[in-house]
Amino acid sequence: MSLTLENVTQIVDGQYYINNANLTFESGSFNVLLGRTLSGKTSLMRLMAGLDKPTSGRVLVNGLDVSGVPVRKRNVSMVYQQFINYPSMTVFDNIASPLRLAKESEAVIKQKVIEISDMLQITPFLSRMPLELSGGQQQRTAMARALVKDADIILFDEPLVNLDYKLREELREEMRELFARRNTIAVYATTEANEALALGGTTTILHEGQIVQSGPTAETYHKPCNVIAATLFNEPPINMIPGRITKTEVTFDNTVHFPRTSELQSLQEGDYQFGIRPSHLSLLPKNDDDLEISVQVEVAEISGSETFLHVRNPHFEMVLHLSGVHNYTVDEKIKIYVPTHKLNVFHEDGNLIQACSRRVEDNYHG
Amino acid sequence: MKKTKSNKAWFLVLPVFILVAFSAIVPLMTVVNYSIQDIFGATRYFVGVEWYREILNNSRLQDSLVRQFVFSGSVLLIEVPLGIAVALMMPKAGKWSVVTLLVLALPLLVPLNVVGTIWQIFGRADIGLFGWGLNALGMDYNYAANPMDAWFTVLLMDVWHWTSLIALLCYSGLRAIPDAYYQAASIDRASNWAVFRYIQLPKLKSVLLIGVLLRFMDSFMIYTEPFVLTGGGPGNSTTFLSQALTKMAVGQFDIGPAGAFSIIYFLIILLVSWLFYTAMTHGDSK
Amino acid sequence: MAEIHLKSLAHSYNRHAEKPEYAIREMDHVWHDGGAFALLGPSGCGKSTLLNIISGLLKPSDGEVLFNGVKVNDILPQDRNIAQVFQFPVVYDTMSVFDNLAFPLRNMGAGDAKIQSKVSEIAEILELTEVLKKKAANLTADEKQKVSMGRGLVRDDVSAILFDEPLTVIDPQLKWKLRRKLKQIHQKFKTTMVYVTHDQLEASTFADKIALMYQGQVVQFGTPRELFEQPNHTFVGYFIGSPGMNFLEVKRCEQGVCLGEKIFPLNELEKQALQMIDSNNLKVGIRPEFVHVWDDPDDSAYRAEVEFVEDLGTYKIVSLRLGEHLIKARLQEDQKVPKEHAFISFPEQWLMLYIDEFLVAKDDHNEEN
């Protein structure tokens, strides 16, 4: 099975909710929609589910136009942010409800419900009412209901956002394992870059109703096609520095100069934007092509194992994502090191010209 | 919020349209039809806006229009603040909140003509507790003879009957305010007045809009209760618009002028309701 | 500003029942003046109850809350001089941003000049100057949160600011900005701040000290680093860190503890503890960050099968199977990922011993709690 959106546009009250979306998802795939609040994730899912009709363009299932087919006739499930269950039914009956609608025999229902609840570890609660359960258990019940009917398409609209951090971590892992064995198209909307990375599969980045980039998650992360994708798909957001390439050297904001490295050799002279991931910056020179920049510490956010160091100089602000604990006082003057081969080079209009190169190191603990 | 558009929605609304057409538009058009003709048995002439001119110049009707506005205005001025005050004083939880809710809901359940009858007896100086009581206190109270007393009684009756509605609406509105707002206010050391002015009143706006519109429309069309209580008297002192209309249409069979009257009546309610609505929703989008 | 002392504090909603259940079990903590503290834990652990006790919305059934040594159990929230930022932004919708910020000052009867200067100062810091004239109802969620924070900051007499999961409704990109702002504000004003959250990253980046709560109890109170490096209970190991600590069930053996054939060496203190406590609930824990992964066999390394590799962008998590145990190791972005099998070792320094779920300290200096 496949789900294709072809030039899909949705306009509501003159506003573009979705602007010319083209996407194809294959069955057995896990697809993440990444974007800010109101970027169009929910709108896109509603179009996929058939809850809304596109203003123009077509939604194809297996190559057939299903734009006019009502939701009930499509085999679609949806899981929402809020834990939506039937409050007056037991967990068992909640999970069984789609099967009962499909007029399955009680024996089949029982077997399927047990199977799915085992998988989601809610079997002990089957006879309870949803409101007697914890948030995580309620959301597992909603998920079980979506999963039990072997839907062709399962849509998750930020399902973990109302759950505890640790629980999210666990459910994410479970979901990945759950879908590895299924022949469904799973679509999962989130605002968090880390969640997209943890879920794997493919990632589609949405911004203001437009698809910015779509592809295998790791590839989308490592090769962001433009500034927006790079900013959205990194936590903390990628550092952007305006700069210029001349015949011999590269300048950041007329203040920092360094000779063109081999990676930057092929680029034409002109103005560019350089993106550097917070995790690629360091406090000690590590590579032969490292660029030294003097900055002032603005604030250091220190977790038990990592430090997010916010620094600035008169021209730009940057954040460093460092492993280990590094204590600094405010306004302290320090030097940071930018590995120039790790620079992502963007055109002035924001499009990627060159992604950072990935030199895999042989030593395991450098 | 995002809205969904689908043409199918029209089919779903169609039955309502048909219903509204039969219940409102068709009768309204009949009235329009009456209002521009002179009907006398089987003969009828087209008279244009003649009836409208006559109605607008009729001093008795002008008087009842003024009376009507004063009445509706007084009703709103008394019932809205009183309703809010009652809602603010109601217990927030526990069995007493249930009891107060029940007590408040009671007047709303009494049929209109019964309300009139209750007050008619209640206010009588000879056998009514209220009337007798006032007289016993040395007041010369007689709603059947004194226009001021009649007005007072009609207003009091309406307040008794309908303040509960505002109170209940506001009570539900107040319950919907999250505790965090009150906590924040107490931390900011807001006075009770400031809490009311900046938290409760803004959050009550939407229910108050409904309450004000309902009370305005209802009070502007009041008929049964004063009819039962005072019959519009003494003199014409408590004859409100709907009663004047009924007299004209049913009592005197002046169907043409009555039709014109109805249309004007209808337009006034529409206009004032619209004014209330825009005034109260103004500033939301800024 | 104030020091907050929770003295033999406990809370039960049914104190006088035959078997009272405690939502907060007895604790004794001093939170020093001007510190940044986090109450961290899963939902239902009691962190919100504790916050309400500090703010005065809830009166504790046992023990005392002291602000600068003064008992405040019976003092109302408004008289405790405490500001609070809630999960969902609370602003006065009909007022402008300026009036919102000025509100607490006006309620205290401050003069116009003072209000003007204080509000513009705070607006400047919170980057709200641009929107001062706007109606608060029309702000974005993060701006509203800044306004509710600002209402606490304008007052000079605030003893503490409490935050109740303030970033819940904020987009991740803006979370970063707001978190940083919060940290800067703390450094600038040195107001005592208490931050409630379930997110270990938010807690550990914000706080000087974290109280990690579990089932009504503070299981560990310490710096983020202590919680990360020396979790004193298996729950702390599990809850802090992403992914959490690896735990391996081990058995007593002659040299110390063993996992099958493999022996984990112990130091003297650990050996003593093992002798003193007669329990067979023994575990060793090691953080994924500290697991060493090698390509070639090494004396101290164990051979493990590579089960799964997660590319999380800035780092990778490798799941390795060691006998019946699954061990997670964290690799740097550019580190080579072993195929099929790898050799792993656990540096002694980072290998923790847990008896009955509690940590056995490696040296005597870490007995702060």
Q: What is the band of B46 on the pLDDT scale with cuts at 50, 70, 90? A: confident
Verify that A24 and A40 share a domain, yes or no: yes
CB proximity B183 to C under 8 Å: yes
Q: Are C86 and B180 an interchain contact pair (Cβ–Cβ within 8 Å)?
A: yes
Sign of torsion over alpha carbons C174, C177, C180, C184 = negative
Beta bridge partners of A21: A8
B180 touches chain C (CB under 8 A): yes
**What SS3 class is residue C366?**
helix
What letter represents residue A205's amino acid? I
Query: CA of B1 to nearest chain A CA: how many angstroms apart?
Result: 10
For the residues C325-348, what does the mean pLDDT come to? 87
Residue A110 lies inside a defined structural domain of this protein = yes
> Does ipTM exceed 0.95?
no
User: Which residues of chain C are within 8 Å of residue A234 when distances are taken between CB atoms?
Assistant: 313
The answer, yes or no, to whether residue C367 has pLDDT greater than 50, is no
Among A229, A247, A271, the domain-final residue is A229
Mean pLDDT of chain A: 87
Cross-chain CB nearest to A197 (options C42, C228, C312): C312
Whether A57 is in a domain gets the answer yes
Average pLDDT estimate for B211-227? 87
Among A160, A231, A303, A328, the strongest candidate for a mutation testing the C interface, having the largest count of C CBs within 10 A, is: A303
Give the domain-ending residue among A207, A229, A251: A229
Q: Which of residues 168-197 of A touch C (CB under 8 A)?
A: 169, 191-194, 197
Say whether both A202 and A253 belong to one domain.
Answer: no
pLDDT at residue number A81? 86
Interface mutation target, options B183, B186, B187, chain C, most CBs of C under 10 Å: B187
Report the pLDDT value the prediction gives residue A108, as an integer from 0 to 100.
92
- What percent of chain C clears pLDDT 70, i.e. is strictly above it? 98
B7–A contact, CB cutoff 8 A: no
Report whether pLDDT(B130) > 90: no
pLDDT tens for each residue of A86-136:
989 999 999 999 998 888 899 999 999 998 888 888 899 999 998 888 888
Looking at the complex, does the CB of residue B187 fall below 8 Å from at least one CB of chain C?
A: yes
What the block records as the tokens of A199 is 């879920």
What single-letter DSSP state applies at residue B251?
I
Percentage of chain B lying above the pLDDT 90 cut: 15
The pLDDT assigned to B5 comes to 54
Chain B: give the shortest CA distance to residue A162, in Å.
19
Q: Is the N-terminal amide bond of B27 cis, ω within 30° of 0?
A: no
Question: Which tokens in the block code for residue A149?
Answer: 């009917």
Give the end-to-end CA distance of chain C in Å, rounded to a whole number.
Answer: 25
Please count the CA atoms within 13 angstroms of the CA of C162 that sit on its side-chain side: 28
- B153-162 tens-digit pLDDT: 889 989 998 9
C169 touches chain B (CB under 8 A): no
**Using the beta-carbon criterion (under 8 Å), do B189 and C78 form an inter-chain contact?**
yes
Contact A51 B3 (CB under 8 A): no
* A277 domain-assigned: yes
Neighbours of A149 (CB within 10 A): 21
The full set of domain ranges for chain B reads 27-57+254-286, 67-239
What does R_g of chain C's alpha carbons equal in angstroms? 24
C90 near B CB under 8 A: yes
From the list C180, C241, C292, the residue facing A301 with the nearest CB is C180
A46 near B CB under 8 A: yes
Residue C45: the pLDDT is: 86
Q: Which two tokens stand for residue A282?
A: 């360091």
The C-alpha atoms of residue A90 and residue A132 are separated, in whole angstroms, by 10
Answer whether residue B25 shows pLDDT above 50. Answer: yes
Please tell me whether residues A136 and A176 are part of one structural domain: yes
pLDDT of residue B111: 87
Q: Does B129 touch chain C (CB under 8 A)?
A: no
Radius of gyration of chain B from its Cα atoms, rounded to whole angstroms: 23
| Average pLDDT of span C209-238 | 92
CB C295 within 8 Å of CB C345: no
Task: Indicate whether C294 pLDDT > 50.
Answer: yes
Does the domain at residues B67-239 carry the CATH identifier 2.40.220.10?
A: no
CB atoms under 10 Å from CB of A150, counted, come to 15
Nearest CA in chain C to A196: C312
In a domain, A365, yes or no: no
Look at the block and give the residue holding tokens 């299981």: C219
Give kind and range of the element (H or E) at residue A154: strand A153-157
B184, B185, B187, B192 alpha-carbon torsion, rounded to 10°: -160
Quick one: A47 and A142 in the same domain? yes
Question: Amino acid letter at C191?
Answer: T
Which amino acid would we find at residue B19?
Answer: L
- Specify if A53 maps to a domain: yes
Structure tokens at C144: 């509203």
pLDDT band at C369 (very low <50, low <70, confident <90, very high): very low
Range C239-264 average pLDDT = 86
User: pLDDT band at C163, cuts 50/70/90?
Assistant: very high
Torsion of CA A310, A313, A317, A319, to 10 degrees: -30
Of A215-224, A342-351, C239-248, give the lowest mean pLDDT range: A342-351
C227-246 residues touching A, CB cutoff 8 A: 227-229, 238-244
Residues A258 and A291 in one domain: yes
Residues of A in contact with C172 (CB under 8 A): 191-193, 235
Written as one letter, the residue type at B58 is N
Q: Average pLDDT, stretch C227-255?
A: 90
- Residue A210 forms contact with C (CB below 8 Å): no
Q: What is the mean pLDDT of residues C74-102?
A: 88
Q: With an 8 Å Cβ cutoff, is C171 touching chain A?
A: yes
Same domain, yes or no: A39 and A186 = yes
**Distant-in-sequence contacts of B71-74, Cβ < 8 A, 24+ apart:** B71/B154, B71/B155, B71/B219, B71/B222, B71/B240, B72/B216, B72/B219, B72/B220, B74/B155
Same domain? For A79 and A199 the reply is: yes
Q: What is the DSSP letter of A305?
A: S
Collect all residues of chain C within an 8 Å Cβ-Cβ radius of residue B286: 135, 138
Q: Cβ(A98)–Cβ(A145) under 8 Å?
A: yes
Whether A164 and A275 share a structural domain: no
CA C368 to chain CA centroid, Å, is 17
pLDDT at C366 over 70: no
Residue that terminates a domain, selected from A209, A229, A249: A229
In angstroms, rounded to a whole number, what is the distance separating the alpha carbons of residues A221 and A223? 6
Q: Does B176 touch chain C (CB under 8 A)?
A: no
Work out the pLDDT band at C1, boundaries 50, 70, 90: low
Predicted pLDDT at A359: 57
B281 contact C CB<8A: no
pLDDT digits (tens, 9 = 90+) for A224-275: 988 999 999 988 889 998 888 888 888 887 778 888 877 777 888 888 889 9
Same domain? A258 vs A156: no
Q: Which of C50, C361, C365 is nearest to C233 (CA)?
A: C361
B282 at interface of C, judged by CB pairs closer than 8 A:
no
Do the domain assignments include residue A362? no
Structural domain range at position A304: 236-357
Residues of A in contact with C225 (CB under 8 A): 302, 304-305, 325
Cis peptide before C243 (omega within 30 of 0): yes
Q: Do B5 and A42 touch (CB under 8 A)?
A: no
Instruction: Verify that A218 and A240 share a domain, yes or no.
Output: no
Give chain A's domain count.
Answer: 2
- Count of C-beta atoms within a 10 Å radius of residue C356: 12
The string of pLDDT tens digits covering residues B139-150 is 888 887 888 888
CATH code, domain with A348: 2.40.50.140
Residue pointed to by tokens 């270990």: C200
Orientation of helix B147-175 relative to helix B112-122, angle to 10°: 130
Question: Does the CA dihedral A119-A121-A122-A125 come out positive or negative?
Answer: positive
Q: Is residue A366 part of a domain?
A: no
Give contacts of C108 with chain B, Cβ < 8 Å.
Answer: 189
Give the CATH number of the domain where residue A94 resides. Answer: 3.40.50.300
Mutation for C interface: A134, A208, A299, most C CBs within 10 A: A299
The whole-number average pLDDT for the span B37-62 is 78
**Rounded to two decimals, what is the model's pTM?**
0.82
For chain B, give the mean pLDDT: 84
What is the DSSP secondary-structure string of A71-117? GGGS-EEEE-SS----TTS-HHHHHHHHHHHTT--HHHHHHHHHHHH
Q: Which residue bears the tokens 């780092």?
A: C315
CB neighbourhood size of B50 (10 A): 17
A13 CB neighbours in chain B (<8 A) are 3
The pLDDT confidence band at residue C291, using thresholds 50, 70 and 90, is very high
Which of C184, C224, C311 is nearest residue A197 as measured by Cβ atoms? C311
- pLDDT band of residue C265 (cuts 50, 70, 90) is confident
Mark whether A128 and A93 lie in a shared domain: yes
DSSP C60: -
Closest-CA distance, B4 to chain A, in angstroms, reads 7
> Does any CB of chain B come closer than 8 Å to the CB of residue A108?
no
CA-closest candidate to residue C239, choices C259, C257, C216, C219: C219
Q: At B286, is the pLDDT very low, low, confident or very high (cuts 50, 70, 90)? A: very low
pLDDT value for A362: 42
Position A363 pLDDT exceeds 80:
no
Q: Which amino acid is residue A87, in one-letter code?
A: P
- Residue A198 has its nearest CB partner, among C172, C187, C312, at C312
Percent of chain C past pLDDT 90, that is, above it, reads: 30
Chain A: touching chains (3 or more CB pairs < 8 Å): B, C
**A363 domain-assigned:** no
Percent of chain A having pLDDT more than 70?
97
Question: Over 60: is that where the pLDDT of A64 sits?
Answer: yes
Assess whether A219 and A343 both reside in one domain.
no
Give Cα B267 distance to the centre of its chain: 16
